[in-house]
Chains A and B, each alone.
Chain A
Amino acid sequence: MSDTTQELVLAADGRPLKQSLRRALLRQKLRALMLIAPLLIFVVVTFIVPIFSMLFRSVENEIVPDTLPGVTQALADWDSSTGELPNDDVFRHLYIDMFKASEAKTHTRLGSRLNYEMTGLSSLFRTTGRGLDDIGEEWQDPLEDIDPNFKDGAFWYEMMSGTDGEDLLEERRDLFATMVGESMDGDVGFIPSMQIAEMLPWTTRAYTDFAIWTAIDDEDVVAEEDPWESVYGALGMDLTNPDSVAAIQSYSGFGADALKAAVANVDQLPQTTFRAEFGKENEDWLSPEVWSTIQLYSSRMTPGYFLNAVDMQLTPDGIAEKPENQQIYKQLFMRTLVMALIITASCVVLGYPVAWLLANLPMRTASLLMILVLLPFWTSLLVRTSAWKVLLQQQGVINEILVWLGFVNDADRLILMNNATGTIIAMTHILLPFMILPLYSVMKTIQPSYLRAAKSLGATNWTAFWRVYFPQSVPGIGAGSILVFILAIGYYITPEIVGGTSGVFISNRIAYHISSSLNWGLAAALGSILLVVVLGLYWCYDRIVGIDNVKLGG
């Protein structure tokens, strides 16, 4: 025991004390974390993940490349600045992709999506979707005249089937599945022949799509069904390709006779391009602007919604402002900010004297008066909103009293509701307790002796208040203002009911895009901008007051 200083201090169980303490601390930390973990996971899964999925939705643009995979690939090489239309290859892809989409009825969704960027595209896609069969029949009828075998679904099945085409099948299946957003798993009962696929690439693509849709979605047997019109159109595309024609001449498998007959009588087939056919359906397809819009929005991520949310748009020449008459969001954001500021300011003006009174009265009187502040705070938001509707409407209490007292003519009653005035009055009332409570808790800590000291040193009442009391109450004003501002800027119900059209906030626009116009991407972009503003303010709030100091109910 002579050199205890050299030895480690041991705990009761013989371990070194230091190690033992560290283990205890670790255990304590783990226990705390285990208590928090269930809630943390719950909040992250049911709240944080949804918020992030919303943020993601504001840039996500998968619908264009998913619905028109061939077109977006083919368009990549097209230079929109030349003012020329894309080549016929693009239109061929458009035909194959559109036909598939119109069978799955996703082309209208794509149309609505692109309509947000260029008005008129929705109807373009919708009407074209109806005319796709006609385009295919241009080829179908002569082909069936050349060889009646082309009428027969079983003949087509036999001709297209073969070996080694599994990869092609899976590729087309994946494209289909991403387009409809559902799994397309299952037995198709058809494997494309690799030989045919190399000889007739367009036809094979179209036929494979047909086979997948028939087997998986319609749950029919592929061999018993007549192929889509697009398959005939696709064969027409292949027959204009010299390579395919040469391959057919040396082909000897099933259906060789029919194909050779088609090559021999190729002059009976329509001598036209798919570009011309689409132009016949709807001349908008011949407008380079339509194509440059599709090209601009063909990537998987787009800044388009965010640009829309700040009244900008993507043009081939880069980002530009929208025309003056289409700008609404910047103004709406400004209005939201201005109205939230007015509401915050009115809350400070009304709340400051009351908080001062509550903080300086004897405890018992203050608690009684506090009930008058807390009662509206605890009352349902909808009750208070309906109260303001009762008060503010044209036949409402305020107007009735003013008319009865003779201050306002019965004919020209004040319009207090369905405009910004209504929103400001009602929201000031609703948010006032949120200003009074933080102000009160700050003022409660200010020593009244400071004021007396100032006065005894010769300050006037005003100087004493302004130079001594007011600076000490500024943290309360800051806390209350940020709280009220954060709450005001995201309000939805009250502006919706008493705000009419000129008194609504950005949140009402978000709700409109979610439930009425269904432009979810734009709603998400507007929401993201609002969220960033609020989080910025929240950060300030944390710096000024600290989250731990948030108090509820006094």
Chain B
Amino acid sequence: MNELIVNIKRPNLLTFTMPIVAVLGAMFGFVTGNIFGDPFIGAVGGAVVGAVLALALAKIVSIKRWKKIWGVAVVFAVVAALFGGVGGFLGGFVVGLSMGWFATWVGTGKYRAGVPIYYTPGQVLWHCTFLFICAFVFFFLIAPLIPVVWLSFNAENFFTFTPEMLSFKSAGYSLKHYRDFLGTDEWMVPLKNSLIIAPIATLISVSLGTLAAIGLSQSHVPGRQVMMAILISPMIVPLIISATGMFFFYAPLGNWLQLNLGLNQAFVGYVKVILAHAVLGIPFVIITVTATLVGFDSSLTRAAANMGADPVTTFFRVQMPLILPGVISGGLFAFITSFDEVVVVLFVGSARQQTLPWQMYTGLREQISPTILAAATILVSVSILLLATVELLRRRSERLRGMSPG
């Protein structure tokens, strides 16, 4: 497509670029005018600024494109700072950046890049609108997480932005919610509980799940469909129903264990929650491991057997290393399921087994402190790490199986 970009013609300045940039300017002007109480004067002013900007950027050819854009952003920011202080500076910077980028993007004809040369203007317009829609959806997916991270550094005990935070004064920020998180039993005990429950539950689901997945992927398994359906069911049945069923079932089971085996209450509580979480994690292990086993060459195990290895050696020396990425990513799914689970633990566990999500849930219902947001930020970091691990493993496994082009 490079040759298409090279051949792009600059659109007509007067009839195309200036009006379009003026429309964007008018939109920004409308919003800015609205802040000061008169949107229409703002819109008109913005249109004029847009048109002038488009003209100026088109006439200056000696400066590189990105330098122009940054320049525009700085000029806008400085002008806006005269009216609105620090907030204005930021706003002006964002507006300037967008307008500068838009003016050069339209002015140099780059908007037609990646579009077949025979497209009509309507089709090009649709193509660009489509890209903007997609950008909006990506924004919708990611943006909600940003205020959480930002607010977790709040110096006040509020869920909302304080004026100090918005004007970027250091007084508005602090690490006190992180200190609260790391320094109090209120959060450390749940974290410890989560770190006890999730790994053990994961271990159970991974070990049993991997064995079963190997069994399921063999060629002659009677009743495979039914067994698969049963093993996947914990993922399909809504959590609230699983929780209800487990609530009715585990309460008498726990009492029975305490009375007849003389186990202590806290231990029984952990056992109940761990078993419940292990079941919930199993479908993920089954799905990922069977998916990995699809690409497994069964002649390798036959070869191993041929050379005198017993089934256990074959499993650990031949099969396991090859399916390990699938097992690990299944394990990560099981881990995150347990680590993130709150409904079942609310119903099955008692106050002693309070996990991190449970504590967050209680906090959210009663809105006690932004420490929840500090916890959330830490969890986001953990999930980024997990995501990276799973992605790396997936690529490795695809490379091993020779499936990935890149």
Contacts and interface: CB of A to CB of B under 8 A. Distances in A.
Interface of A: 25, 28-29, 31-36, 38-40, 42-44, 46-54, 57, 350-351, 353-354, 357, 363-364, 367, 369, 371-376, 378-391, 393, 395-397, 400, 404-407, 429, 432-433, 461, 486-487, 489-493, 496-497, 507, 510-511, 514-515, 520, 523-524, 527, 530-531, 534-535, 538, 542, 547-548, 550-554
B103 interface: no
A548 B212 contact: no
Interface in B38-89: 39
Contacts of B351: none
B213 to A, nearest CB: 9
Given A387-B147, A395-B159, 5 more contacts: A39-B231, A43-B231, A374-B387, A390-B151, A524-B244
Contact of B215 (A33, A371, A490, A527): A33
A53 B35 contact: no
**4 closest Cβ contacts across the A-B interface?**
A490-B238, A35-B215, A50-B249, A50-B245
A372 B287 contact: no
Interface stretch (B5-13, B169-177, B371-379): B371-379
Nearest to A38: B208
A10 to B, nearest CB: 22
B357 A382 contact: yes
Interface string B345-369: 0010000000001001100110000
Interface string B310-346: 0000000000000000000100010010011011000
Given A32-B216, A43-B279, A386-B373, A531 B237 contact: yes
Contacts of B376: 380, 382-383, 386-387
Contacts of B339: 380
B271 to A, nearest CB: 11
12 contacts: A38-B212, A39-B211, A40-B212, A43-B233, A51-B242, A375-B387, A382-B376, A390-B148, A497-B364, A510-B240, A535-B236, A550-B232
B236 A538 contact: yes
B250 A50 contact: yes
Contact of B244 (A54, A357, A407, A489): A54
Interface string B192-212: 000000000000100011011
Contacts of B37: 406
Contact of B340 (A34, A381, A542, A553): A381
Contacts of A489: 238
A50 B357 CA distance: 24
B212 A363 contact: no
A548 B290 contact: yes
A378 B336 contact: yes
A468 B60 CA distance: 46
B390 A400 contact: no
A35 B141 contact: no
A527 B347 CA distance: 14
Contacts of A44: 230
Contacts of B360: 380, 382-383, 386
Interface string B250-276: 100000000000000000000000011
B214 interface: yes
A47 B244 contact: no
Contact of A38 (B34, B211, B228, B284): B211
Nearest to B363: A386
A375 B234 CA distance: 24
A353 B130 contact: yes
A48 B233 contact: yes
B37 to A, nearest CB: 7
A383 B364 contact: no
Interface stretch (B15-23, B104-112, B179-187, B217-225): B217-225
Nearest to B119: A461
Contact of B282 (A39, A381, A405, A542): A39
Contacts of A492: 239-240, 343
A490 B242 CA distance: 10
A511 B145 contact: no
B406 interface: yes
Counting chain A CB atoms within 10 Å of each CB, the highest count among B123, B161, B347 belongs to B161
Counting chain B CB atoms within 10 Å of each CB, the highest count among A382, A461, A547 belongs to A382
A363 B403 CA distance: 13
A406 B35 contact: yes
Contacts of B247: 514
A408 to B, nearest CB: 11
Nearest to B134: A357
Contact of A47 (B239, B242, B357, B386): B242
A523 B161 CA distance: 41
